[in-house]
């Protein structure tokens, strides 16, 4: 990853990229996050796994204040985003976000999708934005697609454009929310390969995923969430390969062998439906 030294950079001597403390989030009566504590250090890859409805997306959305936490604190890249006086746009610029849906502009080419925010938000001139955009299309293996429109690209290629778009903003860290869940199975591998390369380059990544092989091979840490709490957290060799908590085991059995799900199994994670959202 390119080192970005903006004039407003907050020093992070403790090496922490994301710190979430006692985070609660309710939607009306529904308490979705029930006291989450999570630290992601710079350069770390943390995968969040857990059943549908457990609060994974809400957690990610609280990290970049797409949702306002009900209580608790969230610090990102040295700035407390839950501080009412924070310049949230400045903090958000440091966070690359990749969702399940690619959200590309259909009327713009791949390269134009990469340059528009650079020009508007970072005020880069056209030539520089195109140069940086092309470099990032190269990083995701799509050099030859710069003039293609989203409709001319496969889902996997569109998702790689979305990753390149996020990278073009020089993020300090990246949040991924099930980036491969909407893809046909044969297209998942190319997207995961790009994410793996980013991880190898030292990018700080918080990734919600159901791709257990990715979590096992790439994550420094895996966090299992269920019903608004972190049930289990540790290295992938522990959480994925040798889970301690019965809820983690039940979940992993379902993900790793979906055909065998429901047989004699009662969701033990609470009142919500424990489907896997893919
Ligand atoms: N904006 C919202 N308003 C009301 N309820 C919401 C909203 N966003 C999420 N929820 C609810 O919060 C719970 C957790 O959702 P979510 O964070 O998307 O879970 P996950 O990503 O783990 O599937 C679900 O019950 C969901 O319906
Ligand atoms: Mg989700």
Position 268 pLDDT exceeds 80: no
Give the three-state DSSP class for 119: helix
Nearest CA to ligand 1 atom 17: 55
Mean pLDDT confidence for 62-87: 93
Ligand 1, atom 27: closest residue by C-alpha = 53
> Using 50, 70 and 90 to split pLDDT, how confident is the model at 266?
very low
Q: CB–CB of 48/56 below 8 Å?
A: yes
Handedness of CA 236, 1, 59, 50 (dihedral sign): negative
pLDDT at 68 over 50: yes
Q: Given a cut of 80, is residue 261 above it in pLDDT? A: no
Ligand 2 (single-atom ion) residues, CB below 5 Å: 56-57
Report the separation in Å between the CA atom of 228 and the middle of ligand 1, taken as the mean of its atom positions. Answer: 10
> Going by CA atoms, what residue is nearest to atom 8 of ligand 1?
58
| Proportion of the chain above pLDDT 90, given as a percent | 83
Contact indicator for 172, 92 with CB cutoff of 8 Å:
no
pLDDT score recorded for residue 273: 39
Query: What residues are in contact with ligand 1 under a 6 Å CB criterion?
Result: 27, 30, 32, 50, 52-58, 277
Q: What is the mean pLDDT of residues 3-31?
A: 77
Instruction: Tell me if 57 sits within 8 A of 81, measured CB to CB.
Output: no
- Name the band, by pLDDT with cuts 50, 70 and 90, for residue 4: very low
Give the SS3 label for residue 16.
strand
Terminal-to-terminal C-alpha distance of the chain: 30
Q: Exposed, middle or buried by CB within 10 Å (0-12, 13-18, 19+), for 221?
A: buried
pLDDT at 23 over 60: yes
| Residues ≥6 apart with Cβ < 8 Å to 1 | 198, 201, 202, 203
Atom of ligand 1 minimally distant from the CA of 60 = 17
Q: Is the predicted pLDDT of residue 233 greater than 60, yes or no?
A: yes
Selected residue with higher pLDDT from 259 and 129: 129
pLDDT score recorded for residue 65: 86
28 burial (CB, 10 Å; 0-12 / 13-18 / 19+) is exposed
Helix (H) or strand (E) holding 47: strand 45-49
């Amino acid at each position: 990853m390119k080192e970005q030294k903006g004039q407003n950079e907050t020093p992070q001597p403790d090496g922490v990229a994301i710190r979430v403390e006692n985070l609660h989030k309710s939607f009306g009566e529904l308490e979705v996050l029930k006291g989450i504590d999570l630290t992601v250090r710079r350069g770390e890859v943390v995968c969040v796994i857990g059943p549908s409805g457990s609060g994974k997306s809400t957690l990610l959305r609280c990290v970049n204040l797409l949702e306002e936490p009900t209580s608790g604190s969230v610090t990102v890249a040295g700035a407390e985003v839950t501080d009412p006086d924070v310049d949230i746009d400045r903090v958000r610029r440091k966070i690359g976000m990749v969702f399940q849906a690619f959200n590309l502009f259909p009327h713009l080419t791949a390269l134009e999708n990469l340059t528009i925010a650079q020009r508007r938000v970072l005020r880069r001139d056209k030539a520089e934005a195109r140069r940086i955009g092309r470099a990032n299309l190269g990083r995701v293996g799509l050099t030859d697609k710069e003039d293609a429109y989203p409709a001319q690209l496969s889902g996997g290629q569109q998702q790689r454009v979305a990753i390149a778009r996020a990278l073009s903003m020089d993020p300090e860290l990246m949040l991924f929310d099930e980036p491969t869940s909407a893809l046909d199975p044969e297209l998942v591998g190319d997207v995961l390969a790009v994410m793996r390369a980013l991880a190898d380059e030292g990018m700080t990544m918080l990734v919600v995923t159901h791709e257990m092989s990715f979590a096992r091979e790439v994550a420094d840490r895996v966090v299992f969430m269920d019903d608004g709490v972190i049930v289990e957290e540790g290295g992938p060799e522990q959480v994925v390969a040798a889970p301690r908590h019965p809820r983690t085991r039940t979940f992993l059995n379902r993900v790793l062998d979906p055909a065998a799900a429901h047989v004699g199994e009662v969701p033990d994670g609470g009142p919500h439906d424990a489907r896997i959202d893919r």
